[in-house]
Structure formats: structure tokens, C-alpha cells
Chain A
């Protein structure tokens, strides 16, 4: 994958997806506490809270995957260069 003649590897997209989903998930959960149960249909199911939790959890997983992929890319690049 890593061709030393090419530009260095950027952080993988999974890292950025992870950051965005994690931040958004946490914001959703915070908004549930801030605004409470509203007047929308099925508001009693607290969609912001549980969907925010799912979003944040997925974000954390993507963040972890992104960091691992980047570490592996860097290691293989070093190996190729040496």
C-alpha cells in the first residue's frame, strides 16, 4: 500500500468519521438533558439520549479503528523505507 515515492499517508478517514460521530453523539445526549422530554411524537422514548449513545459508541469504535490503521500504516512505511 505505501509507496515511498508518494506523499506521506494522511490519517485514515475512519479517524475523522469517529471524531465527528463521537462529538455529535455526546451533543445529542447533552441536548436530551438540556431540553428534557419535548412535545414531538414518541418524545417519551428519549430518542436523543439513546440514539446519541449509539452514535457516540460507533464514533468511539471508528476513532479506535482509525488510530490503529494509522499506526499500522506508519509502521509499514518505516519498514519499507529502512
Chain B
């Protein structure tokens, strides 16, 4: 017996979604002729379209389920991942980094590394990004099948293959434009399908004040309990949050991960590209009103036996409640037929859009940064589009393979999910130095990147295998008993520091490129911003200032 039972109207809503996204793919097929159409959506998007896609590429169901469950464990601290852990980095990308990315007319982030440094740095990043993306896509698929089997009793193979086939179909047909369209549809489905859970939950508990009133001290505040690690549920100090999450992990992800940055590249001009992450930041700030509020409601309900609310048991540890089922169980509590279908469709769309984002980023990096760079340097545009389509199908099949691998070897997921801090955190140091310090050399970037990846990976493995000495653990994490979250934040930080230091050290003893080779790629050698004489409302800096003020106000309110 499954936790949620679907009625005919629920099935109609789910089937209509599949018909809709494949229909969109078929419709967009005829607008997808050139490489720029397929890989960059024709560079025709406004900042609204690119901004929503930018956010939605990150807004998978995995994140929503995970952080709703995470709120039951960590409380309000989860909002850090949406505010300090995202907004400053998104604004920095729009204001300072996008001019270098967009103006150089590259197809991908590794493409920038080629222009700024050399082919080997590009290849190192392209290969690590391609592997990371495929593995993440497979994990996403596996968890989707796991969630739907647990809450709906769906068959593993059917849910994995049907969703993979639908994604393969619409990405192969319409390329990035298809991915962007379905990501935006997913964004609205998530709001219309899941926000009502928070509204009804708050209503049942008697208002937002009542939800917060019953929380323990360690869960209800953002910063007040971060003076010492043991005073909050995340077991991390404010320094870990600011340095690890707010700086390294956040900037590493939002400013260098091609999965999200690719959406900004699809903008019609530089001003729209710069506004893309800034527009997205406003929507990002609003997400805790779904995720955190629903998690707090679930926490309150689960703590009151008279409410009759319980989570499902964890599939791998049947004696433990599975926090990630908090949102589906709230849906089961509040949603009548019809709304259940919409809620499940929102989750399905979230999983599929997350996977589609990974596949579309993978096909671009493979085609431009590996295939054209190494295998066929004289490939025509038409040939590259063909390669992109084939790569999409191969990428989908590899994702399905990874999903089956994860199903067989459950612990592999811990490693795969940590890949991000091995790849992106050091890359942010490389990008920052590359864009803002013209003395950074190709050798410095390459060896810095290698050093950062090795340091981050070694810390992860040492903690995972129990080989980390207690004294060194205390030195690295500033905590006697670091939580997994705290370890993740610090391992990324040390990876970043290693890359930063080695890049500077090697750069100082190797030959830098001349100024003429760096025009348009480095601060100080790039022309004035396009919006210097634009009206106030058209300036990215104006909207970034407003976004920054709002996020500061939110932090102060929930301090």
C-alpha cells in the first residue's frame, strides 16, 4: 500500500505534463538549426526568461525534498543556503564576471579557461565537469525512482526509463531552448503545486508566528546561535557559514558551474546576461517560503502525536524516519484529488528538469570542449549539432547506467554528491584570479586547480574512511565534533585556499600572457560596461543593490 493514492484526475494531470513537454520539444525542433540555436538557445532570451531558467536549473526536486527534510533537522539554518549561500554570489556573477564570460562569445565555462589560460586547463575542467554532470544526472534519476517508489509504489524501471526517454526526446529535438522552456514550466509548477502545502500547514498551526513559537532555540534563528558550533543544529560557527558556504561553495557553484551559467549565455545581449542572475536572485530569496516553512510545519506536526503526522521509514535504514518524505507526506495530509496530481507533477517536473539541465550542459561541454578541441578540430557547425544530439542520447543512457549503479552500491552516492566541492570550489579560485589578476599564468591555473582538487578530495576521503586524526580535524573544521555539513563546508574551503595559494605561487615564477592577449578577459583590460549611460532602472547595479538590501533585511529579521 503506497502513502499516496492517485485518482483518475491526478493521472490526467501527470500525463498532460508529459504530452506538454514532448509537444514543446517537437514545436521547438523547427527553430533549432544552428549550433548557436541548439547549444545556446539562439542567444535570443530576455533577462526574465534566462533568469528564471538560471534559477530553475538549480531548483530540482532533489533540492526541494532534501531541504524540506533538512529543515526538520537543521531548522531555520537551511535558509542560509538560499540567502547568504546564493544571493551575494549571484549578484557578483551579474555585476563583475558576466562581462568577461559573455563578451568573449564562448559556448561554455571551459571555453573561457581556454581563452584565458590554455588547452590543458580547459580540458581538465571540461572532463571533470562532464563526469560530475553525468554522475549527478544519474543520482537525480535514481533518487527520483526511489522517491516515487516509496510514496506511490511506482516501479523503479518504469519511472526511470519513461522520464529518461521523455527528457532525451525533448532535448534531442530542441536543445537548450527545450531545456529552458521546460525548466520555466517546472518553476511555475513548483510554485503552484507545492506552495499550497506551506499555506495550508501554516493555516492549520494558527499562523506563521505560531509555527516559530514552538521551535527549540537551536532551530528558530539564523545567526543568533552561531557563536559556538554546538549551539545550532548544523554544528557550524558563523565563520564556517560565511567562509565555507557564503564564499567558497556559493561562489564556486553560482559563478562557475556551467549548468547554471549556460542559461545566462543564452541571453540576447550583455545587459540581459548581467541581469540574468540578478533577476534570478529575487526568486531564489522567495524559495524558503516553500521549503523552510513546509519543513518547520512538518517538524511541528511530527512533534505532536495528537496530529497523527508521521514520515515514511528510510529505505536503507527502516528504523529511521526519512526526512526527505516530509513534503510528500504533507501533500498526503492536505491535498485532495487533483491537487495531489499537481503536486506529484511538480516533483516529477523538478526531477526531470534537473536531469535535463545536466544533460544539456554535458552535451555542450562534450561537443565544444572535448570533441571539437581534441577529436575533430575542423568540425562544421552542422556536424556539431549532430554530435550534440547524439551526445544527448548517450548522456541519457550513461545517466541511467549511473542510476542503476547507485541502486546497487548505495554508498557511492555520498562520494558522487561530494564531487561538487572537489570540482567547483577550486575552480572558483582559478576564475577569480584569472579574471581579476592579470599576472595569473596558464601554469599557475593548471597546477592550482590540480592542487585544490587533490586537497579537497583527500580531506573528504580521510573523513569518510575515519583516517582523519582528531587534532587535524579540529584544526581543519574549528570544531570538536564536526557534522557532515560542517565537514563539507570546510573541505571546500581548504580546496579553494590550496588552489588560490598554488595558483599565485606558480604564477609568480612562470611567464604571464601579454596584455594584448588578455583584452576582454581580465579586469582592467576590458572596455567600459554597456550600462554606464543607461537609465537607472536599466542598470544591473541598481537591481543588484535592491536584491542585496532585501537579503540583508531578511537576515536581520530572522537573525
Which residues on A sit within 8 Å (CB–CB) of B46? 1
A27 within 8 Å of B by Cβ? yes
Check B13–A6 contact: CB distance below 8 A: no
What number of A-B contacts does a CB cutoff of 8 Å give? 107
A7 within 8 Å of B by Cβ? yes
Among the stretches B110-118, B130-138, B333-341, the one at the interface with A is B333-341
Number of interface residues of A (CB under 8 A): 35
Check A16–B185 contact: CB distance below 8 A: yes
Q: Which of A24-82 contact B (CB under 8 A)?
A: 24, 27-28, 30-32, 34-35, 38, 40-43, 45, 47-48, 51-52, 55, 58
Check B33–A48 contact: CB distance below 8 A: no
Number of interface residues of B (CB under 8 A): 42
Which residues on A sit within 8 Å (CB–CB) of B17? 20
Among the stretches B23-31, B236-244, B526-534, the one at the interface with A is B23-31
How would residues 10 to 28 of chain B score, 1 for a CB under 8 Å from any chain A CB and 0 otherwise? 0011001100100010011
CA distance A8 to B33 in the complex (A): 10
Which residues on B sit within 8 Å (CB–CB) of A31? 7, 9, 336-339
Check A24–B13 contact: CB distance below 8 A: yes
Q: How far is the CB of B488 from chain A (nearest CB, A)?
A: 35
Which residues on A sit within 8 Å (CB–CB) of B196? 47, 51
Check A42–B338 contact: CB distance below 8 A: no
How would residues 191 to 223 of chain B score, 1 for a CB under 8 Å from any chain A CB and 0 otherwise? 010001000100110000000000000000000
CA distance A40 to B331 in the complex (A): 10
Check B9–A41 contact: CB distance below 8 A: no
Given A8-B31, A30-B9, A48-B339, A41 contacting B192 (CB threshold 8 A)? no
Check A7–B336 contact: CB distance below 8 A: no
Which residues on B sit within 8 Å (CB–CB) of A7? 31-34, 37, 42
Check B7–A41 contact: CB distance below 8 A: no
CA distance A6 to B9 in the complex (A): 42
Check B44–A9 contact: CB distance below 8 A: yes
Which residues on A sit within 8 Å (CB–CB) of B49? 12-13
CA distance A13 to B20 in the complex (A): 12
Check B184–A17 contact: CB distance below 8 A: yes
Which residues on B sit within 8 Å (CB–CB) of A21? 188, 192
Given A6-B42, A10-B27, A28 contacting B339 (CB threshold 8 A)? yes
CA distance A30 to B339 in the complex (A): 11
Which residues on B sit within 8 Å (CB–CB) of A38? 336-337
Check A6–B44 contact: CB distance below 8 A: yes
Given A6-B42, A6-B44, A13-B181, A28 contacting B20 (CB threshold 8 A)? no
Which residues on B sit within 8 Å (CB–CB) of A51? 192, 196, 339
Check B338–A48 contact: CB distance below 8 A: yes
Which residues on B sit within 8 Å (CB–CB) of A13? 49, 180-181, 184-185
CA distance A27 to B44 in the complex (A): 34
Given A16-B185, A17-B185, A35 contacting B338 (CB threshold 8 A)? yes
Q: How far is the CB of A81 from chain B (nearest CB, A)?
A: 16
| Closest chain A residue, CB of each to CB of B193 | A24
Which residues on A sit within 8 Å (CB–CB) of B189? 20
Which residues on A sit within 8 Å (CB–CB) of B12? 27
Check A16–B200 contact: CB distance below 8 A: no
Check B188–A17 contact: CB distance below 8 A: yes
Which residues on A sit within 8 Å (CB–CB) of B9? 27, 30-31, 34-35
Which residues on B sit within 8 Å (CB–CB) of A10? 27-28, 31, 177
Check B336–A43 contact: CB distance below 8 A: yes
Check A47–B335 contact: CB distance below 8 A: yes
CA distance A13 to B183 in the complex (A): 10
Q: How far is the CB of B8 from chain A (nearest CB, A)?
A: 9
CA distance A16 to B31 in the complex (A): 16
CA distance A31 to B341 in the complex (A): 11
CA distance A31 to B36 in the complex (A): 44
Which residues on A sit within 8 Å (CB–CB) of B185? 13, 16-17, 20
CA distance A20 to B189 in the complex (A): 9
Which residues on A sit within 8 Å (CB–CB) of B28? 10
Q: How far is the CB of B226 from chain A (nearest CB, A)?
A: 35
Given A10-B27, A13-B49, A16-B24, A47 contacting B200 (CB threshold 8 A)? yes
> Can you sample 6 A-B contacts with CB below 8 Å?
A6-B37, A13-B49, A20-B17, A27-B13, A41-B200, A42-B334
